[in-house]
Amino acid sequence: MTEPEIPQLRFTRDHLMAMTQLLNVLSQRLAEQRERRGRAAYSNAEHAARLADTHEHPVVRPMSEAESQAFTTQAGAPQVPQHGLSVATAPVGQEWGVRAVTPDRDAATVMCPNLTEAARLADYLRAQGNPGLVNELNELSEQIGHRIATETSPAAQSATEAAETPAQRDPSEVDLTKHEGLVDLATNVPTSLADAPEWDRIEAQFADLTDRGVHPAALAAGVDGLDFNRARRPDALVQWSLDQTARAWEAEHRSTDTGRDDVAAVTAEWANQLDPTSAVDRAAAAEAAGRYGPDVDATLAGTYPGLLTAATDARAAGAAGEAGGLAQQERERAEALTAESAARTLCGDDVLGGLGGDEDIDRQEAAVTQDAEAAEHRGRQSGAGSEVEQARDHKVTAQFTPTRSAMATAPRSAMATAPTPTQTRARGRSR
């Protein structure tokens, strides 16, 4: 006699799809709340890492001579249009090149980090057909190229002279306070970082901040206590911490001079005047991200949603699956719009919008990702397959919460390297 089959209760495919869409909406709402704070991530370690990714992989940069030759081989010789712009794109290694040519034979040829950014820029240039965009793109590309060269050239290394040991320099030229502060700083970071090439950039930043008057001991103390165990980029976390400490120090010790306030006001005005539809303005916004403080970052992220995490997301997606990923994102947007009203009804804006402190939101965001992955796995097992949409991946870890005073003012070095409000068309922006 056979025993009766035990019934199994499980979600239907429609239920799994609905739950996955709801999790996707929840994740998007968490990202929106994060961006309203001017944050690339709730965790300080991941926030610093994502901003560093953005600066190391700018949306546009100048082509090298070798890259220009490779691009011409792929895209062919420039085509001079009778009107508008002639735009060409082609892969160059793991990156993509974009070229725009005017009827007067003026040209802009730039590198983009991936197909997504190259396609966005090329589509915008074709749609606008404005020859003035070529000059604007060249100005921005040259400015970014100068910043990259400054960070990697011997001139940048000379800024670390204050960090040299007394044996390496004339004793009368050694600032022992700075040297001792740098020694303390090296003691407070992992040994692997102090021995890594990235340490040169940290030394240069330390020297620059102390030259501006920030006390070396304060900078070293600001790094003490950071949790490097789960930091994806320890070097970025240290540089971010030095920047925050300098802002707090200068806010407390600065005089009545309002020069910094004037720069901040001009920068905020520039950020508010950016064109949400302009791919060139978006590239300038990406270069400015993380350099002027959270208020400006919040404005930039509000104008260009996803800007603060675009470089990290693109690198995580990988070149092989990028085309499919773009299509997937478009489907997710459409599904999310359909499900958003249902999500608000089920959860309420008080639940979606009032999630507590940063660490609570970090845990909630991680839980959303885990639940979405579990729902997708169950969907595959039940036959849902590709119809179950993946929720956006916001894998961040909680470290500690920055204080408001630590974000009071923007550093002078950042102001020197970030895009200035010079990329204008007829929109009344300041030069």
Query: What pairs with residue 99 in β-bridges?
Result: 88, 109
* Alpha carbons 413 and 275: distance in angstroms, whole number: 26
Neighbours of 33 (CB within 10 A): 17
Neighbours of 44 (CB within 10 A): 24
In the predicted model, what is the mean pLDDT of the chain? 76
What's the burial of 22, exposed, middle or buried (CB within 10 Å: 0-12/13-18/19+)? Answer: buried
**43-56 average pLDDT score:** 96
pLDDT-derived band at 88 (thresholds 50, 70, 90) equals very high
pLDDT-derived band at 28 (thresholds 50, 70, 90) equals confident
Please provide the distance, in angstroms rounded to a whole number, between the alpha carbons at the two ends of the chain. 89
**217-231 average pLDDT score:** 93
pLDDT-derived band at 263 (thresholds 50, 70, 90) equals confident
Which pLDDT score is estimated for 369?
53
Query: If you average pLDDT over each of 119-123, 261-265, 389-393, which comes out highest?
Result: 119-123
Residue 57 confidence (pLDDT) above 60: yes
Pick the more confident residue, 164 or 22: 22
pTM exceeds 0.75, yes or no: no
pLDDT digits (tens, 9 = 90+) for 308-346: 999 999 988 864 454 455 445 544 544 444 444 344 334
Residue 25 confidence (pLDDT) above 60: yes
Neighbours of 105 (CB within 10 A): 9
pLDDT digits (tens, 9 = 90+) for 109-124: 999 999 999 999 999 9
Which pLDDT score is estimated for 426?
40
Query: If you average pLDDT over each of 169-173, 321-325, 349-353, which comes out highest?
Result: 321-325
